[in-house]
Amino acid sequence: IKKQPCMSCILPKQCNQCSVAEILKSKTEISACAFVVVNMKAGEKLFVICKKNDDDPVYNRVNVMFVCFRIG
């Protein structure tokens, strides 16, 4: 899970500064969860980059749901 690309990003998929969480899921699992607190400003976005395993002939789509709320 990535935060909106930072100003130093050339390749957002490879930038570690933008990463807020990583979810690892095997091809036999149908779901996975991550609970992460991310400090965000108005207008910032979260997005998901899915990487296909080389040994997996079928690409399994991942359903993602973000739950956002403001504290304070």
Q: What is the pLDDT of residues 9-32, one digit of tens each?
A: 666 666 667 778 777 776 666 667
Please tell me whether the overall predicted TM-score, pTM, comes out greater than 0.85 for this model. no
Is the CB of residue 11 less than 8 Å from the CB of residue 58? no
Rounded CA gap, 24 and 43, in Å?
Answer: 28
Residue 70 has a pLDDT of: 72
Residue 47 has a pLDDT of: 78
Residue 14 has a pLDDT of: 67
Residue listed under structure tokens 């490879």: 14
Residue 72 has a pLDDT of: 61
Nearest C-alpha neighbor of 62 from the set 49, 53, 46, 45: 49
Residue 23 has a pLDDT of: 75
